[in-house]
Amino acid sequence: MSDQDPRLAQSFPAAVTRSARAIGADLAGWRKILGLTAEQVADRADITRATLRKLEHGDPSVGFHVVLRTARALGVLDTLTEALDPLQTDLGRARADMLLRKRIR
């Protein structure tokens, strides 16, 4: 992360920076597991190689659309979407049920 502007890193909460690094590393891991080059993924995601590098190195300023395009290019967009679905968890299903009961009354 030494190539990042230190002012940029300071503008994000530490938890966001940590998550950006983890997500970037995970996407880089998928790329490597799939045997794809950075150039191939960047082309498939319709982003520049430099932008992919920023994403894979955990730059939290990379746009959300870049994360989504890259996940799609790697074939993990559905996995990402499902991971964030609250109805896939017990808590989410319980709370959704409570919301429905409040509306009916």
| Successive 10-residue mean pLDDT values, the chain, 105 residues | 50 95 98 98 98 98 98 98 90 81 58
Domains and CATH numbers, the chain: 6-74 (1.10.260.40)
Tokens of 23: 């997500």
pLDDT confidence of residue 95: 87
- Start-to-end CA distance of the chain, whole Å, equals 53
pLDDT confidence of residue 88: 87
Residue 93: HSE in the Cβ half-sphere, 13 Å Cα cutoff = 3
Cα–Cα distance for residue pair 92/31, rounded to 1 Å: 31
Cα–Cα distance for residue pair 96/79, rounded to 1 Å: 21
